[in-house]
Structure 1
Amino acid sequence: MIRLNIHEAKTHLSRYLKHLKDGETIVLCRRNIPIAEIRPLPDARQEYRPIGLAKGTFDVPPDFFDDLPEELLLSFEGNSD
């Protein structure tokens, strides 16, 4: 476990991020009093979803790609007068 004062953490953040990647925990202190703990996240393994996973579960209406009404376009632009 690494204990750092906030100034040291801000000054050398990239150096300490490497320690986090290696599994270390960092305790941030203000005037040597612990105020926060930073821990590495577990590995986020992305599972790939097959193409067409939701095929047949919903229908796209025929007018989906039609132009939007003018008043709706204006409201998106902040001109709802």
Structure 2
Amino acid sequence: MSNLKKITLTGAFWTLIGYGGSQVLRFGSNLLLTRLLFPEFFGLMGLVNVFIIGLALFSDVGIGVSIVQNKRGEEPAFANTA
């Protein structure tokens, strides 16, 4: 097996483990919250979470990626302006 293929498979494995682990933790925290909160509060918390995450995704305009890809990205004046 070539070195590049081995590195790729190792990276894919750890990515899947990380993603799966985060989903298991999220599911477990939701189960815990259903036991701790009244159903109305759990629903309200879910709606607020949807709006907060939606706002975060809507407001992400890619400034960080733009700084990384720009040839002036390491200049403090350019980075501070962004």
Tell me if both proteins adopt one fold, taking TM over 0.5 as the criterion: no
Q: If the TM-score is normalised by the length of the shorter chain, which range does it land in?
A: under 0.3
Q: Greater relative contact order (Cα 8 A, min sep 6): structure 1 or 2?
A: 1
Instruction: Output the TM-score relative to the length of structure 2.
Output: 0.19
